[in-house]
Chains A and B, each alone.
Chain A
Amino acid sequence: MAEHGQHSVPHAQAGEFDNMELVHPKTFLGKYVWSQDAKVIAIQYGLTAIAIGLVALVLSVLMRLQLGFPNTFSLIDPSSYLQYVTMHGMIMVVYLLTALFLGAFGNYLIPLMCGARDMVFPYLNMLSYWFYLVAVLILVASFFVPGGATGAGWTLYPPQAISPGTPGIHGGILLMFASLAVFIAGFTMGGLNYVVTVLQARTRGMTLMRLPLTIWGIFMATVMALLAFPALLVAILMMLCDMLLGTSFFMPEMLNLGEPSTHEGGSPLLYQHLFWFFGHPEVYIVALPAFGIVSDILATHARKNIFGYRMMVWAIILIAVLSFVVWAHHMFVSGMNPYFGFLFATTTLIIAVPTAIKVYNWVLTLWRGNIRMTVPMLFAIGFIFTFVNGGLSGLFLGNVTVDVPLADTYFVVGHFHMVMAVAPVLVVFGAIYHWYPKITGRMLDDTLGKIHFWVTFLGTYAIFYPMHFMGFAGVPRRYYGYGETTFIPDSIQTLNAFMSVAAIIVALVQLVFFYNLVRSYFRGREAGPNPWQATTLEWQTEHTPPRHGNFGTELPVVYRWAYDYGVPGTKHDFIPQNMAPDEVERADRVDQDAPGRLPS
């Protein structure tokens, strides 16, 4: 497994990876396609994830068209609607957010922020991306097989996932299984890299407690993903056996539209346990990197040290650990032993404590700061607001009794979109605005960025906040249409139309973002090495964008944590992590009469 790490250990005392032998290909293909440079792999991951994410975005617009203006579009029948629901969910959760946070941001930031030249197993890293690409292609292919993609919901619950009455029970679900299996294999290769790089390849002085929170978030998310994805793998393997070999792991005696099935005695609940054992940690796999990244954006743009760093680290770890013992809160009304409800409601609400602490500490980081209203900062504040909303609505669903009337209604849809769709996506955008200057050497356009932020932030709130009220009114989710339902007031239809219009606007404004990405790449303002005047190592590289190998001839040595903004007694507004204490003093003497190096 691990012997791909082509490294040499020439000196006992030097770090294992100080003089990593990097593969420096000369050809275009070698540099940009079969690249082993984590930064190139990161961009490959990012572009692929965004491309497939766009597919999922279009699917969501199609769903909203049907919900807002029912029975107007002949393209959308109940089968396609369910296929949109399923593929939208699966793509967004696994193929977009997981891949983007861990594959793209993880690959780009881990080596740079830890002060490493590259990931420790570059070949494996490259393989990881190609596996991911194959997984995405298989997934896309499933739209085109007879019967189309699976429409079982992203949870793929048996029996319906593989019994008649659900779209895509032949080719569609098979390709979904195949795609997930390939994704998991690819992710495991990448994940090994991320974990081992953080553990082994940190530069001199980069102790665990000096790691930027971004790295902590990505690191813990990777650890969780490595431990949780096997649950999904086992579950789909077993369902595959049920489907193809006639075993009865999950399939009970049942009828298939009137015809008796050959299965006997299987337990659909067993699948749900396995699925959510993966599925709940998955929520935090998406959330933790967002937590980490947003902490760094807040600190940098508020020119303020992060408040309660140690608490933040332990909160991340506590959330990671607890998230493995809360899975059954997705199953309060699943028909499992109802006494589990007591246990899982308790563990679920306990997890709210470290999460709340993180929110407090973000706000307290801003407190007494010197807040620059840059575009990344806007997105970070948007994240806090959205996340507070989504986190609080989680207290309804995690508390077993309150969950009963709200489960499987639009309240759930509103909640999880706030907390694990909009909030992390706002962070993704913030992070792109934040790191784009390092990745390309040019700044993204501010005005376009602000338009993008305002429409996205307000628009998504307009889509998802009213959904909670539909949930209170009892509107069930995953419905193709509501027809003549006695308990749903007609005004809900107006609300649905409003939400659909908002969704279309939000989808369209993403074009502004893509335009900005492309335009700034060629015509953006030159960024310089450290436009945000940030302390972390990626901003201290010799070249911008950093070359293969990241740093110059010498790896940086770290003397301090990542949050030395506005340190008392120094002239400087910020001190980079690799600035030695005596260097700071020297710089202070030089700058004695010059104005403080405050950002403009």
Chain B
Amino acid sequence: MAIAVAVILLAMGSVLFFFFSPWYLTPLASNWGAIDDTIQITLWVTGAVFLAVNLFLAHVIIRYRFSRRRRSQYDPENKSLELWLTGLTTLGIAGLLAPGLLVWGSFVSPPDDAHEVEVVGQQWHWSFRFPGEDGRFGSVHNRFMDEHNPFGMVDDPAGQDDILISTPHLVLPVDRPVKMVLRSKDVLHNVKVANFRAKMDMVPGQTSFFWFTPTEVGEYEIVCAQLCGIAHFAMRGRIEVVDQEDFDAWLTEQPSYAELAALAPGDPEEGEARYTSCAACHGPEGQGNQDLNAPKLAGLDAWYLERQLALFRSGARGTHEDDIYGIQMRPFATMLPDRQAIADVSAYIGTLPDRPVQASLDEGDPERGARRYRTCANCHGQQGQGIRATNGPRLAGLSDWYLERQLQNFRKGVRGRHREDAYGNQMIEMAQVLVDDQAVSDVVAYIMTLPLPRVEMAAVSSDGVEE
């Protein structure tokens, strides 16, 4: 009889769990209340059937338990009962299906007044594009993508005013339907915001779409919902839903394709002058100074330096109270007046000679570190040479004490926690892979064994200048 009791308790318990569990749909923030309604209908219908079938089952188990004095009743078929059950089930199914199909009808037909935003997925990063004033997206093709043209823009007049947003932060106006046009640079991804309910895969080689109307002002997290490789879990982004005016203000600040193309490249000669204030700590050749806790700069890619300087300048890095040396760095970064100054000084650092560094730590075991490093290799490269496309900076040739400190900072959230530091956020997730201090030492010890990527280094910096 225990099983009958178990069936009753489990069936009732499951239903009660539903009512009392703290886990249910996230608060709705879009027009897709209808989707929630279909979930509700399904819950009620299936819940009722679940209870009915299982309680009847429990009843049967108790009522017809084994008895020596009784025999089972022989009834091979009961046509009318079977017909009734089939009929009722069919009705119930139809009752579930009809609303589902109705809502799907509106799900697949975006309203005419919807504005369009393109979402571009790549390993493991989101970027966005608005069509600009002409309301038309310029053509794109994966074939044209490279580090200077990450969106793969084709030479197309309609594309000149397209607004390109390379950070995974999107702003949308409230109460205006938006059609999300989805494409992917590499593998399958899926852009999902739980509060909006809608989602769709992004497939390389084609576009897909979904639409919704954000109805609540607020900030929502984008996650990837289609397995896309090892950093799938760290592929996050953010959608901010704001009033129309705030949206307009934000949008005008964002650069268009033409503006980005017209940006002057960093000028190493201008940068040299600015570098003098850096040289005090980082050394005249950017070789770093452990006594002053100033890391080596020579050999770092210009794009990485630009990003970090911008983060320091805006306060997205070097503001955490435990980040002692970051706090020291901040005032120097704020001395750089604008984007151009940052580009110049980064370009200058690119011309500095890259010399091997001496190992200063010896707790790590490079062999164990090699196994840990296979996670890192996906973004930072097998040789730690850095990969522009994954926004993973170079690691080979950096000082071990610096790497160790930064990894510890990431692990503890001292670095990378700021909401504007998208790649820092990602690195916090990834740094959790290093479960203890020993793991950090090991992986740093392994990175110290990687060769200095001299040749590639030269190629990247000269490219940067030519741009």
Q: Which positions in A face B, CB cutoff 8 Å? A: 70-74, 77-79, 82, 151-153, 157, 159-160, 163-167, 252-260, 265-269, 302-311, 333-335, 338-339, 341-342, 345-346, 349-350, 352-353, 356-357, 359-361, 363-364, 366-373, 378, 381-382, 384-385, 388-389, 392-393, 395-396, 399-402, 404-409, 454, 457-458, 461, 465-466, 469-470, 472-474, 476, 478-487, 489, 491-492, 495, 563, 565-568, 573, 596, 598
Contact = CB atoms under 8 A, between A and B. Distances in A.
Interface stretch (B162-170, B224-232, B315-323, B448-456): B224-232
Contact of A258 (B68, B99, B143, B389): B389
B108 A474 contact: no
Contacts of A255: 122, 142, 145, 185-186, 389
Contact of B194 (A333, A382, A400, A405): A405
B200 A335 contact: yes
Given A364-B78, A566-B73, 13 more contacts: A157-B227, A160-B228, A166-B187, A252-B203, A257-B387, A268-B188, A350-B93, A368-B73, A393-B46, A395-B42, A400-B100, A405-B199, A487-B220
Interface in B48-74: 49-50, 53-54, 56-57, 60-61, 64-68, 70-74
Interface of B: 1-3, 6-7, 10-11, 14, 17-18, 21-26, 32, 34-35, 38-39, 42, 45-46, 49-50, 53-54, 56-57, 60-61, 64-68, 70-78, 81-82, 85-86, 89-90, 93, 96-97, 99-101, 103-105, 107-108, 122-124, 141-143, 145-147, 182, 184-188, 190, 192, 194-195, 197-206, 208, 219-221, 223-234, 236, 371-372, 374-375, 378, 387-390, 425, 428-430, 432-433, 435-436, 439
Given A254-B142, A338-B108, A489 B23 contact: yes
Contact of A360 (B14, B45, B85): B85
Contact of A371 (B17, B56, B61, B198): B61
A409 to B, nearest CB: 8
A183 to B, nearest CB: 23
B185 A164 contact: no
Contact of A401 (B11, B86, B103): B103
Contacts of B375: 77-79
Contacts of B202: 335
A83 to B, nearest CB: 10
11 contacts: A71-B433, A78-B233, A163-B186, A165-B124, A165-B228, A333-B190, A366-B64, A408-B226, A473-B24, A483-B429, A566-B73
A371 B65 contact: yes
Given A333-B199, A367-B60, A399 B96 contact: yes
Contact of A495 (B23, B71, B86, B378): B23
Contacts of B11: 385
A254 B204 contact: yes
B76 A307 contact: yes
In the complex, the 7 A-B pairs of residues with the closest C-beta atoms, listed nearest first? A252-B205, A258-B389, A474-B194, A335-B208, A165-B229, A479-B233, A469-B23
A363 B60 contact: yes
A385 B205 contact: no
Contact of B435 (A73, A373, A470, A573): A73
A316 B430 CA distance: 48
B90 A353 contact: yes
B204 to A, nearest CB: 4
A131 to B, nearest CB: 30
A304 B21 CA distance: 40
Contacts of A409: 225
B104 A74 contact: no
A324 B372 CA distance: 44
B433 A78 contact: yes
Contacts of B124: 165
The interface centre, meaning the residue of A77, A335, A341, A487 with most chain B CB atoms within 10 A of its CB, is: A335
The interface centre, meaning the residue of A302, A303, A395, A495 with most chain B CB atoms within 10 A of its CB, is: A395
B3 A302 contact: no
Contact of B372 (A73, A77, A252, A370): A77
Nearest to A461: B10
Contacts of A165: 123-124, 186-187, 228-231, 378
B201 A308 contact: no
A119 to B, nearest CB: 31
A473 B26 contact: yes
B142 A399 contact: no
Contacts of A303: 71-72
A384 B57 contact: yes
B316 to A, nearest CB: 16
Contact of A254 (B14, B60, B205): B205
B88 to A, nearest CB: 9
B169 to A, nearest CB: 13
A370 B72 contact: yes
The interface centre, meaning the residue of B141, B190, B202, B219 with most chain A CB atoms within 10 A of its CB, is: B190
A408 B233 contact: no
A395 B389 contact: no
Nearest to B56: A363
Nearest to A363: B57
Nearest to B219: A486
Given A401-B38, A472-B25, A487-B26, A305 B76 contact: yes
A159 B188 contact: yes
B437 to A, nearest CB: 11
A485 B143 CA distance: 34
The interface centre, meaning the residue of B202, B219, B371, B435 with most chain A CB atoms within 10 A of its CB, is: B435
Nearest to B122: A255
Contacts of B73: 304, 368-369, 566
A396 B93 CA distance: 11
Contact of B206 (A302, A307, A335, A454): A335
Contacts of A307: 75-78
B435 A308 contact: no
Nearest to A335: B208
A339 B1 CA distance: 50
Contact of A82 (B230, B234, B371): B230
A77 B433 contact: yes
A58 B409 CA distance: 34
Nearest to B378: A165
Contact of B378 (A257, A393, A565): A257
A252 B186 CA distance: 9
A363 B78 CA distance: 14
A368 B64 contact: yes
B194 A78 contact: no
A259 B146 CA distance: 8
A540 B46 CA distance: 43
Nearest to A368: B73
Contacts of A372: 66
A510 to B, nearest CB: 20
A51 B66 CA distance: 37
A476 B193 CA distance: 10
Given A346-B101, A353-B93, A77 B374 contact: yes
B104 A400 contact: yes
